[in-house]
Structure 1
Amino acid sequence: MKSDQKDSMDVTIGQIFGVFLLIGATSFGGSVVAYLRTSLVAKRRWLTDSAFVSFLAISQSLPGLNATNMAILVGDHLRGVPGAIVAMAGICLPGALIMFAVGVAYGHHGHQPAATAMLHGAAAAAVGLIFATGV
């Protein structure tokens, strides 16, 4: 282990949860990989660059979202199964809460014309994002 990398036992379960909760709440789409590297390698020194690249390669070969796969791998590396569980919960919780709130709001207001118009706008934005990614 390099001297500038923290010992994984110094990292608490709460710290793992907090970091991945922040990442899950403040990142979107493909930018999350760079954000993960900044947070885990450069800022906190929980991983070396080579470990990060290895975890990224594994996460890209597994089904599912890269960010979620990375959270599980890093959490497991730092604190075993409990670390993997809290890292996954932290990165998934913000999106799950947002989707739950949107579902509840749609259940109460989905019949109104303004709600229908917002959904059509969101669908158009999704098409635009997919097109921009493709280009």
Structure 2
Amino acid sequence: MGWLVEFHGSLRWLVALALLAIIVGAIAGIVTRRWPGWMPWGIRSAVLLVTLQFLVGLVLLINGSIAAGWQMQLLRLQYEHAVTMLLALGAVHMLPRAARAAEPRACGRRVLLLALIAALLVAVGVIRLRGAAYWIPF
């Protein structure tokens, strides 16, 4: 399972890069009033990467829960992380629908809003899990 943890940790950088590319493309679509041609592939890539990241994390969570005897108190932060990432996954899965708007500026605004929400949720989830020892004094 060590390689799966390493894969899950490394994949987050690809997720961050995909979300950043979507944010930049949405801003470009708003400013230029033209929807970039690569955005459908960027959105598909982000959806695929975030879904893969969530599934790998779910496997790790189930494995950790079995090892801990299904005691939620021992894995409280991991469960909070999983719920936050599930919300981010939902936001990312709404991106293709938001990208179907007829007018490029409206499309860009919707995609930008959802991508920012997803990026914020991913950041909060990672910081909550990784930074808990530093920021929470219990």
Does TM, scored on the shorter chain, surpass 0.5?
Answer: no
Q: TM-score, normalised by structure 2?
A: 0.30
